[in-house]
Structures are given as C-alpha cells and as structure tokens.
Chain A
Amino acid sequence: MTENGQQPVIVLENVDKHFGDFQALKNINLTVNRGERLVVCGPSGSGKSTMIRCINRLEEHDGGRIFVNGKELTGDVKDIDAVRREVGMVFQSFNLFPHLTVVKNLMLAPKLVRKAGKAEARETAMRFLERVRIPEQADKYPAQLSGGQQQRVAIARALCMNPEVMLFDEPTSALDPEMISEVLDVMVDLAKDGMTMICVTHEMGFARSVADQILFMDAGEIVEMGPPKTFFDQPKNERTKLFLSQIIQH
C-alpha cells in the first residue's frame, strides 16, 4: 500500500534492456496500480513491446528491477512461472495453438498449471467464451475462425488463468478494420470490470475512452505520461506532439 491507498501491481525501477549494442529500454520507471488502465503508444521500435514483454519475462531486462505483485522478477524459473501465472498476455498475432480446438486452447493452461480437473477447466473455459461472446465456436479449430474471433479467444484464454494483470501487445494491429471493434469491445468490458491492464495500441479512440494514463515512448524512453485529456489536448513534449499529429492527421 502506498500513502494514497493505492496498491502497486507492477513496478519497474530503472529498467534497461539491450539487444546486442542496441539499447531498447533506457532507464524505465513505471508504477501501475491495481485497477489502473495504462495505454502505451509510440512509434515502432520505440520499445513499447519490449517493455511489456519484460513484465512477464518473455524478454530479460539487463538493468534495474521489475516487481509484479510484490515479487521480483529474477532469473529464477520458479519466480518466472509464478509471475506468469498472475499476468495474462495477448499478442498481436493471436498465437492460438492451432492443433487444439478453441475450448481446448482455453483448458490447456488451467489443467497443466492450475491442476484443474477436466470438467472444471471446461466450465471455466465456456464461461470466458461467453464473456467474449463466442461460446458457439468452442469446438472449432482456430484456423476456422476470423481474426477478430481468434483474438477474442486469445483474450479468453488468458482470462482463464485468472490473472491480476492483462498485457495487450498491439492486439488489433493484425486485424482487418471491420474486426477491430469486436476486440476493443471486449477490452472495454474488461476495463469496466476493473481489470488492471497495460495496452500497447494505436487505437487512440480506445485510449481516450478507457485509459487512466497514457504513456508515450520514443527511442526506448518514456517521453511523456498523463491522463488522456492532458495527453491529447496539451502534450508537452515536442516528440509527443509530432507523433500525435502524425497519427491523427488522416
């Protein structure tokens, strides 16, 4: 608990990350409290994805410290698995398991990681499929679904593990335009239910309506951060202004 009564779920302290000679993250400091919705934007290559991938250690940070729910992420496999159970992730390319039906995609991790029984796992899976509004697709294979449906399945799959936090890595970037809103609707629902979320996205409408904070990154640094109103209407930094003018221009 911090002094204002908020509980930090994710804390990044002076986090650095290098890919060879290239520094992808430079001294990142960030706190996300329970129930907070953070939208991360910035030009490609700015480190947005790398940052959220560090939070569940799909990338290893090489400087600073990262805490998830008070647990520090280190090289220890036990800690990593424990953190990953608390953090759900949705990828740009869905990454559904192609050889499993939709419902089995959702049941796999609860069965293997939470040791849930088959009936229990199936029941949970169906509940979340209803929540993303596609229970009727349960017994199809991912290849038989549209992109928007696949992404909703991917969201449901992450939710089945009952995560504290959800990370979204450009969840709508690979979708046809007419499918974007069905995915955003699901994400808005999640936000309304109080889920702690970090979304890397270029959907500025979504950012404006859902985010508590918007964070702008460029060249591996956090350039500016603030609530949507200030961020969009009175951006302080020149790079933020340039970025906003570029994405809102058309």
Chain B
Amino acid sequence: MIVDFTLITDSIPKMLMGIGLTVELMIVSAVLGTVLAIVLLLMRISGLWYLVWPSVSYIYVFRGTPILVQIFIIYYGLPQFEVIRDSIFWPILREPYGCAVVALSLNTGAYVSEILRGGILGVDRGLGEAGAALGLSVRQRFIHITTPIAIRLAIPAYSNDIVSLMKSTALASTITLLDMMGIARTIVAETFAPYEVFISLAVIYIIMTFFIQKGFGRFEKHMSRYLKKEA
C-alpha cells in the first residue's frame, strides 16, 4: 500500500483539536478519582467492618470489569431508571461528558486506592513503632510518618495508572465525545484510511505518555531527595 502523507499532515492538526478534551478528561478524572481513592483507602484501613466491606467490594467490582462496560452501563444503562432521571445527578449523567468523567473517575478511584494501600504497606513498620514509642497518636503517626513515605513509594505505580487513564479517555469516543480518538474515527469514516490516521494518533498518545512519565519521574526524584547519600 502507499502511505498518504498529505492525509497524515492534514489529519494531525484536526485530531489535535481534541487534545484539550483528552487532557481535560484525564485531569478531571485523575483528581476526582484520587479523592475517591483516598476515601476508599481510609475506609479500607479503618478496621471497621461496615467501612472495610463496602470499600473492598467496590474495588473488587471496578477492577474486575472492563472500563468500556462501566462507561456503557453509566451512559446507556442508568438513564433507564426514573430515579436517576429525577435525581440531582441527572444534569451530569445526561451529558456524555459527565458520564465519561464519572466512569473514568470511579474506575481510577478503585485502582489508585489499591496503589496507595501498597504504598502504606511498604512503609517500614519500625518507623511507626518509633513514632509510637515517642508518644505520637495513631493519627499523628499516619499523617506525619506513614503518609509522606507512602506517597513516595506509590509514585511509580500511580504514574502508570495515570498513563493508563489517559489512554482510557479514548473510550469516551464510544459515547459520542469528540476527543482525539473521536475526531480520528470521524476522519477515518470520511477517508477510509485507518492506517495513516490511527498511526498518527498513536504517535500523539505516545508523546503524551512520555511527558506524563517525565513529569512523575521528576516528582519522584523530588520526593526521594532525602534518600541521597550526599548532600
């Protein structure tokens, strides 16, 4: 086959018109998802069965089902219920954008919660004991000792998850949103040239991944500055 370079140079700027939406979906879902993750985490480590149990089930369900299925349930499934249509959530769930953000946040929340828990479990037990021996309360130890160290330990996995979230935003195109993937699909529908268009799109996603990883790499370096042997 012959690669149509003019098509590539024409379609890249068009697809980039959707980068704003892609980035927005990613950032809004990352923030909301992380907040949800922290709530789930606190429930999970509370030691109270009526908080632990819902948190564990939630994480199990959202990690155990495809995100595309979750998006479809929220977008196509929920409006079937009158209660939903009458509820205060309807203005959000009526819009495909709202549905995409809700689905991506709920999904990210489940994953990030487990990532943060991993960070907490990775903190040396002796540090908590040292805090206890100094008379710090459980809460003080959690805030001043466990959390700062757990965050550092969680960064690499968290960074992977944000990359994964960024790629998942492409699924928003399945519910009519015109993010980069949505635009690409429109172009392909008009030109019947999936090869050029999707390869160009893939390159854009790879470049975005590169910058996200780079950013988190710096953050990790900053958070690990105290581990260096030399000042």
Q: Which residue of B lies closest to A84 (CB)?
A: B135
For the complex, is A232 an interface residue (Cβ under 8 Å from B)? Answer: no
Cα A140 to Cα B231 with chains together (Å): 7
For the complex, is B163 an interface residue (Cβ under 8 Å from A)? Answer: no
Interface residues on B, range: 20 to 34
What total count of A-B pairs have CB within 8 Å? Answer: 76
For the complex, is A85 an interface residue (Cβ under 8 Å from B)? Answer: yes
Q: Chain B: interface secondary structure?
A: helix
Cα A157 to Cα B131 with chains together (Å): 11
Cα A161 to Cα B152 with chains together (Å): 29
Q: Which residue of B lies closest to A89 (CB)?
A: B133
CB within 8 Å for A144 and B230 given contacts A84-B133, A84-B134: yes
Which chain B positions have C-beta within 8 A of A108?
A: 134, 136, 144
Which chain A positions have C-beta within 8 A of B129?
A: 58, 91, 95
For the complex, is A184 an interface residue (Cβ under 8 Å from B)? Answer: no
Q: How far is the CB of A211 from chain B (nearest CB, A)?
A: 22
Cα A18 to Cα B229 with chains together (Å): 41
B:101-147 near A, CB below 8 Å: 124, 126-127, 129-137, 140, 144-145
Closest 10 CB pairs of A and B: A95-B130, A109-B134, A89-B133, A141-B226, A85-B135, A95-B126, A84-B135, A113-B135, A99-B148, A112-B140
Given contacts A88-B133, A98-B127, A112-B144, 15 further A-B contacts (CB under 8 A): A84-B133, A87-B133, A91-B126, A91-B133, A93-B126, A95-B130, A97-B130, A99-B148, A99-B149, A108-B134, A112-B136, A113-B135, A144-B229, A154-B130, A158-B133
Interface residues of B (CB under 8 A from A): 124, 126-127, 129-137, 140, 144-145, 148-149, 152, 225-231
Interface residues of A (CB under 8 A from B): 56, 58, 77, 81, 84-85, 87-89, 91, 93, 95-101, 108-109, 112-113, 140-144, 154, 157-158, 161
